[in-house]
Structure 1
Amino acid sequence: MVAQEFTVDLNKPLVFQVGHLGEDYEEWVHQPIVSKEGPRFFESNFWEFLTLTVWWAIPTIWLPVVCWCISMSVRMGQTIPEAVLMVALGIFVWTLMEYTLHRFLFHIKTKSYWGNTLHYLLHGCHHKHPMDGLRLVFPPAATAVLCFPVWNLVKLFSTPTTTPSLFGGGLLGYVMYDVTHYYLHHGQPSREVPKSLKRYHLNHHFRIQNKGFGITSSLWDRVFGTLPQSKAAENKK
């Protein structure tokens, strides 16, 4: 007897449905629904509220923390040029983290009930509903929780004086990433560089979803060989 395939009801809260898709989840989640109206995640209004974040909350909440971290290093004796260098290094390290997390965690393949459910919450929902403007940036409460292990990790590889500015640089890189990500989906760039970046990212969503893992730049895709070919290059084959 063949088991009946599970069908997701888009008119009901999705989070606890998607796990039932099993091996079909990977195909389902990469068939995007292009609508600015996001789906319902949870029956509970409280849990639903925690999944919704306006884009401007990210710089509003985290830029003061970035400034505080940098000023802490300066107060501890770090010179302004040294602080600037540490901030730049932190941003650079973040770009690698951005690529690594997107490629190896956000695009991990799952088929178990809880694996599918957790992946949908983490990143699958974004691929299924890529224009959902209230779920494009990471909820600040979750970021705050992750800041603690990241801070302690930075402490292992740096001195007490450089830890705050290096961490602040990484946090600034994250803010740039989340704001850029929102803009690539909802902005209408007129200049070539942001227009190219928008094409590069939307290509990841709608054409080649197993390549193009950078958001703020294609640097690490070029380094690790995951830069997708252009349509023109594909057509020449």
Structure 2
Amino acid sequence: MVAQGFTVDLKKPLVFQVGHLGEDYEEWVHQPIATKEGPRFFQSDFWEFLTLTVWWAVPVIWLPVVVWCISVSISMGCSLPEIVPIVFMGIFIWTFFEYVLHRFVFHIKTKSYWGNTAHYLIHGCHHKHPMDHLRLVFPPTATAILCFPFWNIAKAISTPSTAPALFGGGMLGYVMYDVTHYYLHHAQPTRPVTKNLKKYHLNHHFRIQDKGFGITSSLWDIVFGTLPTTKAPRKEQ
């Protein structure tokens, strides 16, 4: 049963508290606390450890997988000129997957105890504490789970010899996504492209949280009409 008027105690582990917010969870989770150090999730040190991931773990763990996948396609008879466009196609497919995942899974509306709890673990924690540097990239376990649907997609739309390269391209797209995501939160870009991308993403966190779902680009936001406005709407007098 949802406790009425429940208040989350930020000094205590949060995961099993947020479910009690019920319908108030949506408003609470989109009121960001912009501190680099994040809250504690679990009382257990073991489960707490599993929620923490340094950004460089992403390329260290997954780039070798990318290389291995491409090498498998080469060993199955694909030439390098054939591999390159397939890898780029994998990256492109990932950008769509990134958008769909962010919009329809990470921003699903919840109000039940377990719905709120699951959402907080998946993405709500990032919106509540957007500068938490150890909970910004995907934990390796979560990425491994996402590999299954992406691998099945790769097999369904390609040949046996090109599927590994397509999957490798998708994984390369994922690595680019997560590293870019960390960069946008914690770096100070100096070039116009990266400065605009940072502004675009932080706008999603701090201003219009139901638009701007692209991380590495705004392409799919343009296609599906979720591009945020450049200016806040005027309030009627």
Normalising to structure 1: TM-score of the pair? 0.96
CA separation in 2, counterparts of 1:164 and 1:143?
17
Cα deviations by residue, 1:135-167 (Å, 9 ceiling, x for unpaired): 000001221233234323321221110110000
CA separation in 1, counterparts of 2:130 and 2:229?
22
Higher mean Cα deviation, 172-181 or 137-146? Answer: 137-146
Matching residue's letter, 2:60: T
> Which residue matches 2:111?
111
CA separation in 2, counterparts of 1:43 and 1:78?
51
> Which residue matches 2:63?
63
CA separation in 2, counterparts of 1:184 and 1:88?
23
> Which residue matches 2:16?
16
> Which residue matches 1:38?
38
CA separation in 1, counterparts of 2:4 and 2:187?
42
CA separation in 2, counterparts of 1:234 and 1:111?
28
> Which residue matches 1:128?
128
2:180 aligned with 1:180: yes
Higher mean Cα deviation, 137-146 or 101-110? Answer: 137-146
> Which residue matches 2:140?
140
Over the matched positions of the two proteins, sequence identity in percent amounts to 78
1:214, CA displacement in angstroms? Answer: 0.1
RMSD over aligned Cα atoms: 1.5
> Which residue matches 2:84?
84
1:40, CA displacement in angstroms? Answer: 0.2
CA separation in 2, counterparts of 1:187 and 1:4?
40
Cα deviations by residue, 1:165-189 (Å, 9 ceiling, x for unpaired): 0000000000000000000000000
1:81, CA displacement in angstroms? Answer: 1.2
Matching residue's letter, 1:191: R
How many residue pairs end up in the alignment?
234
CA separation in 1, counterparts of 2:31 and 2:211?
16
1:234, CA displacement in angstroms? Answer: 4.3
- SS of 2:134's equivalent in the other structure is helix
Cα deviations by residue, 1:48-80 (Å, 9 ceiling, x for unpaired): 000000000000110011001001101110111
CA separation in 1, counterparts of 2:76 and 2:154?
17
> Which residue matches 2:164?
164
Matching residue's letter, 2:113: Y
